Structure 1
Amino acid sequence: MPQHLLIVDDDKEICTLLSQFMTQHGYRVSVAHDGRGMLQNLESARIDLVVLDVMLPGESGLNLCRRVRSNASIPIIMLTAVGSETDRIVGLEMGADDYLAKPFNSRELLARIRAVLRRAGGAPAGAHNGSNRTLEFGGWRLDVTGRQLFSPAGALVPLRAAEFDLLLALAERPQRVLNRDQLLDLARGRAASSFDRSVDVQISRLRRKLSIDPDGTEFIKTVRGGGYVFAASVAVVSAELSHAS
Structure 2
Amino acid sequence: MFENLSPRRQEQLQAFDRLLTIMDELREGCPWDRKQTMESLRHLTIEETYELSDSILENDLTEIKKELGDIALHIVFYAKIASETQAFDIADVLNSVCEKLISRHPHIYGDVKADNEEQVKQNWEQLKLKEGNKSVLAGVPGSLPALVKAMRVQEKARSAGFDWEEKHQVWEKVEEEMQEFKTAFNESGDVPSEAAEKEFGDLLFSLVNYARFIDINPETALERTNKKFIKRFNYLEAEAKKLGKSLQDMTLAEMDVFWEEAKKQE
Structure 2-normalised TM-score? 0.28
Max Rg structure: 2
Higher strand share: 1
| TM-score of the superposed pair, with normalisation by structure 1 | 0.30
- Highest relative contact order (Cα 8 Å, sep 6+), 1 or 2? 1
